[in-house]
A = this chain, B = another copy of it.
Amino acid sequence: MHTTVEAFAESLESLRSRVNQELDALIEHELLNGAGEVAVEAGRVLRAGGKRLRPILFMLAYRLAGGKDEDEAMPLALAFELIHTATLVHDDINDEAEQRRGIPTIHTTSGQAKAVIAGDWLFVQGFGLGGRYSSQIVEIIARCCANIAVSEFHQLDHVLNLATTPEDYFSIVKGKTAGPFAAGCHAAGLIAGLTEEQAHGLARFGMELGIAFQLVDDLLDLRGDERMGKPRGADVHEGKMTLPLIHALTLSHGTHRQRLSELIEAFTDADFDELMALLDRSKSMEYAEILVRTHIERAQAELDVFPDSEAKRLMHQIAQFVIDRHV
């Protein structure tokens, strides 16, 4: 039995490597079938993804739930990674982002039209894999993806909306970021043979972990982190109302709130120190950090009902990684 940190890292690395091999094989297979440039462009962004957090997590959820045949869960794990990448390609068009995962976005290298289609192609590949499962699983995937779109509409309506509430924020995050974590864990559990009730516990684990993950993303965007593969402050430049900003706007008054509004509405890189000082006044970064820990604790508590296993310990470790990312 593995107990050391090194052994954990090795197990995760082995899963990541397996996922990457499968994704490579999928792209190669499409290229052999004559897919050409769309597979090259989509494959370029797909292969640039490093962590593979979602597919690794879903493979572990499958194991935790008693699943023995990894080939049974792999198409599901890949489907979510492909759909996730599709949404990134389309989001980047809408955000006019130049970089993603440290490489130029498709619309930057090949134009908007091809980026829209390359995103569609990734969606199709994902759904092709997801469609191999029962109607129950297909419904979970489709519902999750429809919710992503609904939440993206809400997010667009809240761009630069200084009246955005924490409730708005969490509703958007649950649909867009945490929903897919929840759906993947839920489906993995069902595929492994869990009852609907047991699988819902895994869905809650995914939802809580996903919320924490988004909060960490918010924090890293403000602090700057080269692992993000995009420039510091991209969210602020795009007018995205992240939780630290929403919190600071809620707690600030008078001239401080006035100045904070001005900074958000016309942000430039030169404003970073002043913005961070204002967030510091309302302890908004600290507040988001506390929420990260709360949601991670809730996620981990959902694992208690499952018997001890390597998969369970790895899932705890991944939850810990999510916290550690922002330290």
User: Which of the candidate stretches A61-69, A111-119, A287-295, A298-306 sits at the interface with the other chain?
Assistant: A111-119
Q: In the complex, what distance in Å separates the CA atom of A138 from the CA atom of B135?
A: 12
Shortest A67–chain B CB gap in Å is 19
Interface residues of A in 18-56 (CB under 8 A from B): 30, 34-39
**A132 — which chain B residues lie within 8 A by C-beta?**
135, 138
Asked if A130 lies at the interface with its beta carbon under 8 angstroms from chain B, I say yes
- When the two chains form the complex, which single residue of B38, B93, B138 contacts A150, counting CB atoms closer than 8 Å? B38
Interface residues of A in 122-172 (CB under 8 A from B): 123-125, 127-128, 130-133, 135, 138-139, 141-143, 145-146, 148-150, 152-154, 156-157
Contact A35 B124 (CB under 8 A): no
Dominant secondary structure at the A interface: helix
Contact B90 A149 (CB under 8 A): no
Q: Total interface residues on A, using CB and 8 Å?
A: 47
Known: A116-B116, A153-B36. A121 touches B94 (CB 8 A): no
- When the two chains form the complex, which single residue of B37, B86, B112, B133 contacts A94, counting CB atoms closer than 8 Å? B112
Q: In the complex, what distance in Å separates the CA atom of A168 from the CA atom of B30?
A: 20
Asked if A120 lies at the interface with its beta carbon under 8 angstroms from chain B, I say yes
- When the two chains form the complex, which single residue of B94, B128, B154 contacts A113, counting CB atoms closer than 8 Å? B94
Contact B156 A142 (CB under 8 A): no
Contact A128 B116 (CB under 8 A): no
Shortest A192–chain B CB gap in Å is 19
Contact A121 B138 (CB under 8 A): no
Output the residue of A30, A38, A86, A150 with the most chain B CB within 10 A.
A150
Closest B residue by C-beta to A93: B116
Q: In the complex, what distance in Å separates the CA atom of A138 from the CA atom of B137?
A: 14
Q: In the complex, what distance in Å separates the CA atom of A143 from the CA atom of B36?
A: 14
Contact B120 A37 (CB under 8 A): no
Q: In the complex, what distance in Å separates the CA atom of A149 from the CA atom of B145?
A: 20
Q: In the complex, what distance in Å separates the CA atom of A128 from the CA atom of B130?
A: 10
- When the two chains form the complex, which single residue of B34, B131, B152 contacts A130, counting CB atoms closer than 8 Å? B131
- When the two chains form the complex, which single residue of B118, B142, B149 contacts A127, counting CB atoms closer than 8 Å? B142
Contact B94 A149 (CB under 8 A): no
Q: In the complex, what distance in Å separates the CA atom of A36 from the CA atom of B154?
A: 9
Closest B residue by C-beta to A35: B150
Contact A125 B146 (CB under 8 A): yes
> What are 9 of the A-B contact pairs (CB < 8 Å)?
A34-B150, A94-B112, A117-B149, A120-B149, A123-B123, A123-B127, A124-B149, A131-B133, A131-B141
**A contact set with B: CB distance below 8 Å:** 30, 34-39, 86-87, 90, 93-94, 111-114, 116-121, 123-125, 127-128, 130-133, 135, 138-139, 141-143, 145-146, 148-150, 152-154, 156-157
Question: A38-B153, A90-B120, A127-B142 are known contacts; what are 17 more A-B pairs with Cβ within 8 Å?
Answer: A36-B154, A37-B157, A38-B150, A94-B113, A94-B116, A94-B117, A117-B156, A120-B123, A121-B146, A121-B149, A123-B124, A125-B142, A127-B127, A128-B141, A128-B145, A128-B146, A131-B131
